[in-house]
Amino acid sequence: MKKKFGIIGNPIKHSLSPVLHEYWFKKYDIDADYSIIDILDKDLPRIIKKVRQGYYSGINVTLPFKQKIINYVDKVVNDAELTGSVNTIFLNNNTVIGENTDVYGLQAAYLKGI
């Protein structure tokens, strides 16, 4: 069964995330799609509902929703707790989780440059 992923933001049409994710899906033969989801603030509960129902396996979050989405997820974990910012949401044991992978990515890039 094909998994669905996407990115929410506004504006978002310029995002290169679909190109990057589709590349990795194809390279590793992952049966998945990644799409741009252009939404407004009022659409956040609908997105959470789709994650909760399993329609989306995961959603990336960009501006202006990185802080706003926190009010809709069930649990904020790890660096998202520390930064008050979420860039990834997913379902785990019927709980919508908000995570932040930006900190890890920034640390990895910094350490690679040393």
Residue 111 φ then ψ, to 5°: -65, -30
**Which amino acid belongs to residue 34?**
Y
* Integer Cα distance of 19 and 72 in angstroms: 28
Q: Is 66 a catalytic residue?
A: yes
User: Which of 26, 27, 66, 68 is an active site residue?
Assistant: 66
Q: Catalytic amino acids?
A: 66
